[in-house]
């Protein structure tokens, strides 16, 4: 599939058109950003890790009945995906308190919840991706009630499957973010974007060590090594 012109460049990926209007090529970058783009850096090899890991996770999820944008990986950093219109809602699932949850409620990180939490952020950089309640998403017609029900069902399946999978890789799935899109050809809601150490919090089961983007956010060091180690564990269990 031939890569045509770039149609979008985000913080972590570039997106290219192909000759098929319903398929795009994503090209993962090594750039890392945090705190709404205020902190910037590079993590050598991150693009290749996130691309490969995401594709492994999407392959597993497809088998469990969650449709995704994955068509096929075409190189270390590039993947052919279905063209979607991304819904401007970030879907966040949490199993354990951390990050903005711990900060918002003034609690420590590491509290295990009885049930996973489900929340939306409004995907809007100018506003800093604020937390958004469902009725506001409906009021602004960002998604329909049916879309939200489908998204909730898929997101909870993703959580159950990923929790099991990561545990086998000796990693605790603390929380993660998903993005869904509407397939431009079929109109169906499918899982898009990525699943990687940039979008999940993963703690080593034995040591509690953070093995995700918090190492970058909090200057904990060993960035390249950690991203590579997560991919190795994932590959071993896939
Ligand atoms: N997350 C993400 N992109 C964002 C915001 C959050 O991938 O723009 C992920 C983050 O890595 C974590 C989960 O979503 O796994 C929950 O993040 P949180 O709301 O705690 O925000 P943060 O602490 O990252 O600001």
Q: What is the pLDDT along the chain (238 residues), one digit of tens a residue?
A: 789 999 999 999 999 999 999 999 999 999 999 999 999 999 999 999 999 999 999 999 999 999 999 999 999 999 999 999 999 999 999 999 999 999 999 999 999 999 999 999 999 999 999 999 999 999 999 999 999 999 999 999 999 999 999 999 999 999 999 999 999 999 999 999 999 999 999 999 999 999 999 999 999 999 999 999 999 999 999 9
Predicted pLDDT of residue 231: 98
Task: State the distance from the centre of ligand 1 to the C-alpha of 18, rounded, in angstroms.
Answer: 31
**CB of 175 closer than 6 angstroms to any ligand 1 atom:** yes
| Cβ atoms < 10 Å from Cβ of 24 | 24
Tracing tokens 């869904």 back to the chain, one arrives at: 180
pLDDT in tens, 162-209: 999 999 999 999 999 999 999 999 999 999 999 999 999 999 999 999
- What is the predicted pLDDT for the residue at 236? 98
Q: Is 32 in the pocket of ligand 1 (CB under 6 A)?
A: no
What is the reported pLDDT for 128? 95
Q: Tell how far the Cα of 157 is from the centroid of ligand 1, in angstroms.
A: 19
User: According to DSSP H, which parts of 74-170 are helical?
Assistant: 99-105, 134-139, 145-168
This prediction's pTM: 0.97
> What one-character-per-residue DSSP string does 49-93 give?
HHHHHHHHHHHHHHHTT--BSEEEE-SSSEEEEE-EEEEEEEEEE
Q: Whose CA is nearest to atom 5 of ligand 1?
A: 177
Residues 83 and 7: their CA atoms lie apart, in Å, by 12
Secondary structure (3-state) at 130:
coil
Question: Does 199 contact ligand 1 (Cβ within 6 A)?
Answer: yes
Phi and psi, residue 109, nearest 5°: -80, 150
Q: Say what the pLDDT of residue 2 is.
A: 87
- Rounded Cα gap, residues 69 and 154, in angstroms: 14
């Amino acid at each position: 599939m031939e890569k045509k012109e770039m149609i979008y460049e985000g913080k972590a990926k570039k997106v290219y058109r192909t000759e098929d209007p319903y398929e795009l090529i994503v090209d993962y970058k090594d750039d890392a950003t945090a705190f709404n783009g205020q902190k910037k850096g590079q993590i050598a090899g991150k693009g290749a890790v996130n691309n490969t890991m995401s594709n492994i996770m999407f392959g597993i999820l497809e088998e469990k009945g969650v449709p995704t944008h994955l068509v096929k990986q075409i190189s270390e950093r590039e993947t052919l995906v279905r063209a979607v219109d991304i819904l401007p809602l970030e879907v966040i699932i949490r199993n354990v308190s951390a990050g903005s949850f711990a900060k918002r409620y003034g609690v420590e990180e590491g509290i295990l919840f009885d049930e996973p939490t489900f929340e939306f952020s409004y995907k809007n950089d100018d506003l800093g991706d604020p937390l958004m309640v469902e009725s506001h998403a409906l009021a602004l017609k960002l998604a329909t009630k049916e879309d939200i029900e489908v998204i909730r069902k898929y997101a909870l399946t993703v959580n159950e499957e990923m929790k099991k999978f990561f545990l086998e890789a000796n990693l605790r799935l603390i929380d993660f973010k998903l993005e869904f899109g509407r397939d431009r050809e079929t109109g169906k809601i499918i899982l898009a974007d990525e699943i990687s150490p940039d979008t999940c919090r993963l703690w080593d089961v034995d040591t509690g060590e953070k093995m995700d983007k918090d190492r970058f956010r909090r200057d904990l060091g060993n960035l390249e090594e950690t991203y590579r180690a997560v991919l190795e564990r994932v590959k071993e269990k896939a």
